[in-house]
Amino acid sequence: MTYRIRNVAVAIGLALVAMLLTLFYVINYRRSVEHNQATVQVYVAAHNIAAGTAGNDIAHGHALKLASVPRRSVVPGAISDPDQVASLVLSQPLYAGEQVTLRRFTDVKAEGIVGQLKGTMRAVQIPGDPNQLLAGTLRAGDHVDIVANLQIDANSSNHAVRIVLRDLTVLQAPNAPSSAPGSQGTSVIVAVTDTQVQRLYYVMKNADWTLELRPAVDSSDSPERLDTLRSVLTSGGLR
């Protein structure tokens, strides 16, 4: 009798353990399902965004919006804050409603000069002598104006001087002047719009010109003016 009671007690104990384990599994499974079914907010593209778009424009423009999706549908690498992409550049297109992930972005520096261009901006390499290009002074990221001395007509020695382009961004600075024999030329790469490039090319081909460095902080522009021999002789020391 004692042997039977012991076996029954063992069986009941094992059954209770099995029941408790099953109950524990069911509770945890239910919690896991509920957790995965819960909705969370993610950032999605508000409209189609082309590759090459600056992350700063995406983060601080109207390119993103919040959307609620089930937790299980969150894409790996999805951003939780727009500032996570502000210093990057979009390397692959984003389509309206698509979750924004870090996998679609790359470092601006990794993209080189092309990563700094957008819209109507173009990069142009300008050859010149070290004095024209402020070689040894200019740095990438500086801003410059172009001053040109233009002949008024082909049959005249009259010239006019003016600033023809303002506030151009230096994308690649010229090399510092070299003392090596025969190394007299250098070049600079600047960003211009697709219409500014026409004026730039005309000046390069038809005028004497030079770059002038703008202030790094609080730069401003005086009123436009055109200087000729007459204005130089009659205007005195203008400020």
Identity of the residue numbered 78: A
Q: What percent of the chain has a predicted confidence (pLDDT) above 70?
A: 85
- Check: CB of residue 40 under 8 Å from CB of residue 74: yes
Q: How far is CA 95 from the centre of its chain?
A: 19
Domain ranges for the chain, please list them: 39-111, 120-217
- Check: CB of residue 53 under 8 Å from CB of residue 106: no
Q: How far is CA 182 from the centre of its chain?
A: 38
User: Distance (Å, rounded) from C-alpha 194 to C-alpha 172?
Assistant: 18
Query: What pLDDT, in 10s, does the model give residues 81-103?
Result: 999 888 888 888 899 999 999 98
CATH topology of domain 39-111: Type Iii Antifreeze Protein Isoform Hplc 12 (3.90.1210)
208-235 mean pLDDT = 86
Per-residue model confidence (pLDDT) at position 17: 74
Whole-angstrom CA distances from 179 to 55, 138, 184 are 42, 18, 9
